Amino acid sequence: MPKILVVDDEIGIRELLSEILRDEGYDVQLAEDAAAARAAREAGRPDMVLLDIWMPDTDGITLLKEWAGNGQLNMPVVMMSGHATIETAVEATRIGALDFLEKPIGMQKLLAAVKKALERNARHVGGGLSLAAFARPGPLRDLKRRMDQVLAKSPLLLLRSAPGGIVELVARTAQVAGKPWLDIAHDSNPVSTDVLQRAAGGVLWCEELARLTRLQQRNLLFAADRLERYGLRLVAATTHSSGELATMGWDEVSLTRLFETGLGVPGLTELKDEVPDIAAHLLTQLMESDEIPLRRFSSAALNVLRQHVWSGGYGELKSAVKSLAMASLGEEIGEEEALQLLAPAGEPGLVPAGLAPDVIERPLREAREAFERMYFEYHLAKDGGNMTRLAEKTGLERTHLYRKLKDLGLR
């Protein structure tokens, strides 16, 4: 028996829709606001949702965006409203809503929309985790706002990142729920107009330009010339400069076009405080797609993830979350499990980046001296031994600086 979640703040409408649908043999759950809808969705995993747009706490469009961003839009959603504009209906469809019903809703229209939604594969798989999942103020929400601004003007976007970036998380933000996602680097055949037609409305993706073969480069450029015709977005990423890519075989004209619209993307080392939130969302997505059983992180385990140096970037974090979830013997993933995976026996645990493992184990005075020596060696080399710049950078008076270098055995 299909489960239908009805979300509406008006009790009369909830009861009317519930009565009609139950008479048709459906299992109906009711929610009066977004908070109740979240709880009902988590508990009941509905086969489809009838979602009101105007609600007092969180409106339906915002809730739809939240589900899409979390990778939870894996059921058809039909929006309802008596006051929505055409622009609102278009936006809901763009986010991933299947249909739109205008109030007052006639019984035949309601049943037709429900039938259409349930026939449309109630378990269609949503996209991967995107920046839309991070609603609280912070660098991830700001990054999404910048990306939205760029994509509103250009269907082609180049993500510039240092190694260990979160480019896939950012790129997924460009994908509309239920629309295709085509990874150019995974296709060894020429891309044709038929392929682009099937991908219409979706995203063409390339995680690293430097890894593309000559054929894949031609595929990317072929698609780039036809983005608007098929309503496509092309999101590519690289850790290299245009000059470095030119030495790898890319021609100057193509690079000029690709580098025309770019966006800087931080790495996990710059998003240390965001790692627990990202990990929790990844865990939710894995549970939603039935890849893992019900799991949750303990606060201590999340702290281990926050402290870890993710040299492998977002891909390494995704793998770690899945491994921890699959190997955990209970519902809660604890600190020891995280430490065992990320710092196997005989290896250092939460050693800060750049410090040799033996330094952190020394007495405090010796560890401080070792760090100071490393610090001054770095800045001396960086500034070419210029003592004026070194004094400005360290905030030390010149006489004190010379004495400190002498004590550390540095010239």
Q: How much is the pTM? A: 0.61
Task: Please provide residue 274's backbone torsions phi and psi, each rounded to the nearest 5 degrees.
Answer: -90, -15
- The reported pLDDT for the residue numbered 12 is 92
Neighbours of 387 (CB within 10 A): 13
Contact 167, 203 (CB under 8 A): no
Q: What is the CATH number of domain 3-119?
A: 3.40.50.2300
- Cα separation of 317 and 321, whole Å? 6
- The reported pLDDT for the residue numbered 21 is 94
- The reported pLDDT for the residue numbered 259 is 94
Neighbours of 335 (CB within 10 A): 15
- The reported pLDDT for the residue numbered 22 is 93
Token digits for 102? 């205008």
Helix axes 364-382, 398-407, angle to 10 degrees: 120
Looking at the chain, the domain(s) classified CATH 3.40.50.2300 span 3-119
- The reported pLDDT for the residue numbered 244 is 92
Output the tens digit of pLDDT for each of the chain's 411 residues: 788 999 999 999 999 999 999 999 999 999 999 999 988 887 767 889 999 998 888 899 999 988 887 767 778 899 998 876 778 878 888 788 888 898 889 899 999 999 888 877 544 445 678 898 888 889 999 999 999 999 999 999 999 998 878 999 999 999 887 788 899 888 778 889 998 998 899 999 999 999 999 899 999 999 999 999 999 999 999 999 999 999 988 989 999 999 999 999 998 888 999 999 999 999 988 887 778 888 999 999 999 999 998 888 898 999 999 999 999 989 999 999 999 898 754 444 454 555 555 566 667 777 777 788 888 887 877 777 788 888 888 888 888 788 888 877 776
Q: What is the CATH number of domain 271-342?
A: 1.10.8.60
Looking at the chain, the domain(s) classified CATH 3.40.50.300 span 131-266
Strands (E), 262-312: 262-265, 296-297
- Bridge-based pairing state of the strands 3-7 and 27-31: parallel
Token digits for 210? 């430097």
| DSSP type of residue 291 | S
Looking at the chain, the domain(s) classified CATH 1.10.10.60 span 357-407
- Cα separation of 354 and 348, whole Å? 13
- The reported pLDDT for the residue numbered 31 is 93
Neighbours of 353 (CB within 10 A): 9
The helix or strand, by DSSP H or E, that contains position 207, with its residue range, turns out to be: none
Superfamily of domain 357-407: Homeodomain-like (1.10.10.60)
- Cα separation of 307 and 299, whole Å? 12
Token digits for 396? 């030390």
Q: What is the CATH number of domain 131-266?
A: 3.40.50.300
Looking at the chain, the domain(s) classified CATH 1.10.8.60 span 271-342
N- to C-terminal Cα distance for the chain? 79
The helix or strand, by DSSP H or E, that contains position 161, with its residue range, turns out to be: strand 156-161
Strands (E), 207-310: 233-238, 262-265, 296-297
